[in-house]
A and B are shown apart, each in its own frame.
Chain A
């Protein structure tokens, strides 16, 4: 416990590095494209277009405001999936640095999730545009949003620490996690309402952390009906569970990582 605090303090001492790593991610990703940062906003809009064209006929009626429903789900999903997907390479890609200079290594997965948060914040712009255009009533629980974002951040960080550490020892983790993410996306009620699922599957849904996060996000944005204590409690519980498992995996192996890079 004392040592865990020491490691956390080390990470805090390197906060300027964290800031620079995030800045680098953001700068590099868009430096070379003509539209630059606009892609952060265009990307979810184009995805929305596809889902809308394909599924509005199927699910539009039971959802109500279908474009708001899909857009909010997509953006929350991307915050989680982009961050943790890139994080699976966090130690492997920085092996040069880790091999040469002492650093609190957790700073790499942490910076990846933080970058993903920055992109998420930019993606809120197209989200609110869609919400306004589609006539969603905003403002019921907007104060809930920072809490939801915080919960998802903690959850993502836990997963990021786990996959980044495990990928050092088993490279397969990178590919397995890709497939997991693909399936996970379809299981997270992003573009369909849970009510279309058979009852048995609906029960399983409550085991899906992302389902709770996305529901909370929608509740905060425009649909207060969705806000049930179940989502809040499960969301927080999943986030803490993920974080402690991730931290445990990282912390227990942090001195071994160097020998496997």
Chain B
């Protein structure tokens, strides 16, 4: 279950980031408080996602899609509002963030899985399944710097999806590896969906949103423009995008 109640996230854009003591002190003495421009990453967003639902999040760049994912996964504490997330949330956001080039595939599996909060016993239990799914058995003791980017992405996907999450957070990572692995990872996400795992899916590809999600949230400048049936929301969204394009070409 995910419940957001009037959630707002405030970003502070410092005009010129006053990150030195000197500048800070001088400005303070002059009575100039650092010029802060506030940008609302999210503005009073309320949302309900229950078990078995998969929510697509769409909107132009900078609309607050990633911010919303960060709020749900606990990376950002909102300035206002209530966030209630029950169950374990697993982020499939930029899978390779926790990897280290110098370490081997095996060492990276342990490192990355522990970043997701696993104990050593839990990782050992899942180790073989992770390696099998990634199809990287032959390279498991090779340092990651010798992997191709596709191989790294495969390994990351395999670790992150062995989590047994209640909530899967997907930020446009369906395109992982070669064509066959892409299908395989798509299947795995569908498998999660069928098991009743909540999926939050951010994408610019309306086709994948239609295929995966049974509810869509349209974010615009941090505000929820529309929530509902995928067909309806996507149609409205595309209409607006098209008319914005038309205005631009005029």
Contact = CB atoms under 8 A, between A and B. Distances in A.
Interface residues of B, number: 33
B162 interface: no
Interface string B110-132: 11001111111001000000000
Sorting the interface of chain A by its residue count into under 10, 10 to 19, 20 to 34 or 35 or more gives 20 to 34
Nearest to A101: B91
B173 to A, nearest CB: 12
A100 B110 contact: no
Contact of B98 (A101, A171, A259): A101
Contact of A97 (B22, B97, B120): B97
B236 interface: no
Contact of A100 (B22, B89, B93, B114): B93
B12 interface: yes
B91 A24 contact: no
- Chain A CB count within 10 A is highest, among B70, B98, B107, for B98
Contact of B73 (A14, A31, A101): A101
B139 interface: no
B147 interface: no
A157 B89 CA distance: 30
B102 A28 contact: yes
B73 A102 contact: yes
B248 interface: no
B125 to A, nearest CB: 13
A86 to B, nearest CB: 16
A171 to B, nearest CB: 5
Contact of B20 (A13, A28, A32, A172): A172
A259 B11 contact: yes
B246 interface: no
A172 B22 contact: yes
B238 interface: no
Interface stretch (B55-63, B74-82, B224-232): B74-82
Nearest to B95: A100
Contact of A24 (B77, B111, B116, B123): B111
Contacts of B24: 170
A230 interface: no
A99 B75 contact: yes
A169 B118 contact: no
B206 interface: no
A24 B104 CA distance: 11
B213 interface: no
Contacts of A255: 77
Given A24-B100, A32-B102, 17 more contacts: A16-B119, A17-B115, A19-B120, A20-B111, A24-B107, A27-B102, A28-B102, A97-B98, A100-B75, A100-B94, A101-B97, A101-B98, A170-B21, A171-B20, A176-B21, A258-B75, A259-B12
23 contacts: A14-B114, A16-B118, A16-B120, A16-B123, A17-B117, A20-B107, A20-B114, A21-B111, A28-B102, A28-B103, A32-B102, A97-B97, A97-B98, A98-B75, A100-B91, A100-B94, A101-B73, A101-B93, A101-B115, A169-B19, A170-B19, A172-B21, A259-B11
Interface of B: 11-12, 19-22, 24, 70, 73-77, 89, 91, 93-94, 97-98, 100, 102-103, 107, 110-111, 114-120, 123
